[in-house]
Amino acid sequence: MSGTDTHDDAVISRQVRRLESLLEEKGIVGGDTVDEVIDGFLAGASPVNGAKVTARAWTDPAYRERLLADGTAAVGELGFSSGGVQKQRLRVVENTAGTHNIIVCTLCSCYPLRLLGPSPGWYKSEAYRSRVVRDPRGVLADFGVTLPESVDITVWDSSAETRYMVLPRRPAGTDDLSEEELAGLVTRNGLIGTAVL
């Protein structure tokens, strides 16, 4: 695995463009319809949302408890949902001193889009999807992350209706930071579980 954002999507891109032009030629969709749907789909979808949820959980213990008990409702308190076109159940899984969580979708590329934005290319790659369920420590090493042997790693394979987000550990030495400053420390990979903050 390259660990970068590159992946070869030329073939599928050509197929999609051809399908789109056929639909327009036959008058099934208007010229702007597809762009409008995609813009609506992605509107407001960003890892900034997941970062805000994380910073709130770090600074408000009662919110953290609600987030871990019912992720869907707790992100809803901040005005977020997890799904794309459909609303989906969200489960937030918390990293601790003894446990580390990583998310994947081995069947396709399910992802909490509203909270994390469009997924990176490597998340959809066969290399990541097939390897992380078998050798998560090896995949983490590719991302420059080495965890102690004593840390139990759980890989959450989004194979049905639920979407997962990792609640990263709060970095040490951040007691004096505001909620907004803390949110600035949270990365997309931290929310996937392929980084430690």
CB of 115 to another protein, least distance (A): 18
Considering only residues 159, 174, 178, 180, which one is a binding residue for another protein as defined by CB under 8 A? Answer: 159
Is the alpha carbon torsion for 93, 4, 148, 60 positive or negative? negative
**Distance, CA of 45 to CA of 112 (rounded, Å):** 9
Contact, 67 vs 92, CB < 8 A?
yes
Backbone φ and ψ of 145, nearest 5°: -110, 125
**What CA–CA distance (Å, rounded) separates 167 from 162?**
16
Q: Is 108 part of any known ligand binding site?
A: yes
By CB under 8 A, the count of residues binding another protein is 21
Taking the C-alpha atoms of residue 140 and residue 130, their distance in angstroms, rounded to an integer, is 14
Q: Is 159 annotated as a binding residue?
A: no
Which among 81, 82, 105, 158 is annotated as catalytic? 105
Q: For residue 148, give both structure tokens.
A: 């102690």
- Judged by CB under 8 A, the stretch of 46-54, 59-67, 76-84, 131-139 that binds another protein is 131-139
The catalytic position among 2, 13, 21, 108 is 108
Q: Is 21 annotated as a binding residue?
A: no
Candidates 80, 122, 128, 156: give the one binding another protein (CB under 8 A).
Answer: 156
Binding site listing for Fe(3+): 105, 108-110
Residues making contact with another protein (CB under 8 A)? 89, 91, 106-107, 133-137, 149, 152-162
